[in-house]
């Protein structure tokens, strides 16, 4: 009787037996795990495939337009993913990654960006030197703000003099990547 009262109150430590699917007691109205009825909405967002690099863009060509900012060193103009030449900003999940992205958004807001295509591709992105209509170099502006580092391997040190003091300590993950101490993840 005491065990019956405990089970009735839900205080029993003995787990209740759950019928399996299909039930031993007969058919169940419960669908199998992972079953989705036809016409039911899907809550998973599709993962877009990386856009192919436009073949009509060659080194030295200029691409102009408003941009969409992906992160601190990647923008999209007219469907072309563009990597800012000569610098490296933190990834979005790294310290200061989101700050670098929002600084780039602020720089590019309502602006027409001019991208001069450089040679080479990186992670299916075109590499380009990008500037605002007033001539402001986006790479230089982000380095001056302490939100990106000069990547001498690709810039020949063009932006190193713009780096604030101790920025390499602040952006230590980016600096470690440049020195080969941190593996680069595919974007």
Q: What is the CATH number of the domain that holds 156?
A: 2.40.50.90
| Contacts of 124 by beta carbon, 8 Å cutoff, 6+ apart | 50, 51, 52, 53, 81
Residue 168 has pLDDT above 60, yes or no: yes
Q: Which domain holds residue 71?
A: 62-178
Query: 72 falls in which pLDDT band (50, 70, 90)?
Result: very high
pLDDT digits (tens, 9 = 90+) for 111-120: 999 999 987 6
Q: State mean pLDDT over 40-65.
A: 66
For the record, the structure tokens of 136 come out as 């402001």
Q: State mean pLDDT over 159-167.
A: 92
Q: State mean pLDDT over 48-74.
A: 78
Residue 24 has pLDDT above 60, yes or no: no
Note whether residue 6 is domain-resident: no
Residue 23 has pLDDT above 50, yes or no: no
Note whether residue 17 is domain-resident: no
Note whether residue 5 is domain-resident: no
**What is the rounded CA–CA span in Å between residue 19 and residue 45?**
33
What value does the CA radius of gyration of the chain take, rounded to a whole number of Å?
A: 27
Note whether residue 41 is domain-resident: no
pLDDT computed for residue 145 by the predictor: 96
DSSP E strands: which ranges in 14-139?
62-65, 67-71, 74-77, 80-84, 87-88, 113-122, 125-131
Note whether residue 54 is domain-resident: no
Note whether residue 108 is domain-resident: yes
* Domains of the chain: total: 1
Higher local confidence (pLDDT), 120 or 80 = 80
pLDDT computed for residue 181 by the predictor: 81
Mean pLDDT score of the chain, rounded to an integer? 80
Prediction pTM value: 0.66
Residue 32 has pLDDT above 80, yes or no: no
Residue 81 has pLDDT above 70, yes or no: yes
Q: State mean pLDDT over 134-152.
A: 94
pLDDT computed for residue 68 by the predictor: 94
**What is the rounded CA–CA span in Å between residue 99 and residue 90?**
9
Question: Residues of the chain with pLDDT > 70: what percent?
Answer: 64
Note whether residue 44 is domain-resident: no
């Amino acid at each position: 009787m005491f065990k019956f009262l405990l089970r009735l109150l839900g205080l029993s430590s003995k787990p209740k037996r759950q019928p399996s699917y299909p039930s031993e007691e007969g058919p169940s109205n419960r669908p199998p795990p992972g079953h989705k009825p036809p016409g039911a909405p899907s809550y998973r967002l599709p993962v877009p495939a990386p856009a192919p690099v436009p073949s009509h863009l060659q080194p030295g060509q200029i691409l102009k337009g408003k941009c969409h900012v992906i992160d601190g060193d990647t923008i999209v103009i007219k469907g072309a993913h563009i990597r800012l030449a000569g610098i490296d900003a933190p990834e979005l999940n790294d310290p200061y990654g989101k700050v670098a992205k929002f600084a780039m958004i602020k720089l590019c807001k309502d602006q027409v960006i001019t991208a001069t295509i450089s040679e080479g591709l990186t992670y299916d992105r075109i590499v380009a030197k990008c500037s605002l209509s007033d001539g402001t170099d986006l790479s230089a502006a982000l380095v001056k703000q302490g939100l990106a580092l000069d990547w001498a391997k690709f810039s020949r040190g063009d932006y190193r003099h713009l780096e604030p003091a101790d920025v390499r300590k602040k952006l230590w993950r980016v600096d470690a990547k440049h020195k080969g101490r941190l593996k680069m993840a595919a974007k």
